[in-house]
Amino acid sequence: MIKLWMAPAGLHIEPGRVADARELARIHALGFYRGWPVGEFESFLADANSPVYVACDARRRIAGFALIRVVEDEAELLTIAVDPKWRGKRIGQALMRAVFDDLLLTPAKRMFLEVSEENAPAIKLYQREGFASISSRKGYYPKADGSQATALVMARDLG
């Protein structure tokens, strides 16, 4: 079965491939203080329990991606990132909706995520997509200045 979802700005969303690891690591590093190494993305891309969704154009230039993990009846958004030149075009929203659509084919009933309480655009996206804050983790995210940010733990029911 071919998995393909439409996205704004002439893009579409499709499953990630191991060959995408270097580009995903590049985009991730642009959005987070501590980007993940290429090898970590290679491991996720090779694991059927951690699907990756990439937003790309017809020539497969990647604008953003979402990475989830599914364990029994729960799903977790491990990370989502959009290249800065593509931000503000609802790519993140399209990625989240592709994830939700694909999760309908799994036993997952609930989805969780963690987000820095300082990341207002991401929190706004998650709230728009039905997530609510259920707890927090103080000092969870390291920051460039050496301090630490609190993570909000958010969840939403699926289906």
Give residue 50's pLDDT: 96
112 forms beta bridges with 76, 155
Contact present, 71 and 111 (Cβ < 8 Å)? no
Q: How far apart are CA 76 and CA 50, in angstroms?
A: 9
Give residue 1's pLDDT: 67
Q: How far apart are CA 114 and CA 41, in angstroms?
A: 19
Give residue 94's pLDDT: 98
Contact present, 42 and 62 (Cβ < 8 Å)? no
Give the residue among 125, 83, 89 at the shortest CA–CA distance from 7.
Answer: 89
Active site annotation includes 126: yes
Give the residue among 58, 59, 53, 57 at the shortest CA–CA distance from 24.
Answer: 53
The catalytic position among 114, 129, 140, 141 is 114
Active site annotation includes 33: no
Contact present, 151 and 77 (Cβ < 8 Å)? no
Amino acid at 4: L
* Residue 57, token pair as written in the block: 């154009």
User: Per residue, what are the HEC states of 80-108?
Assistant: EEECHHHCCCCHHHHHHHHHHHHHCCCCC
Q: What is the dihedral of CA 72, 45, 85, 113, to 10 degrees?
A: 20
Give residue 2's pLDDT: 79
Residue 105 dihedral angles phi and psi, to the nearest 5°: -90, 5
Longest CA pairwise span in the chain (Å): 46
Give residue 98's pLDDT: 97
Which residues of the chain have a pLDDT value below 50?
none
pTM of the model: 0.95
Give residue 86's pLDDT: 97
Give residue 90's pLDDT: 96
The catalytic position among 117, 126, 140, 141 is 126
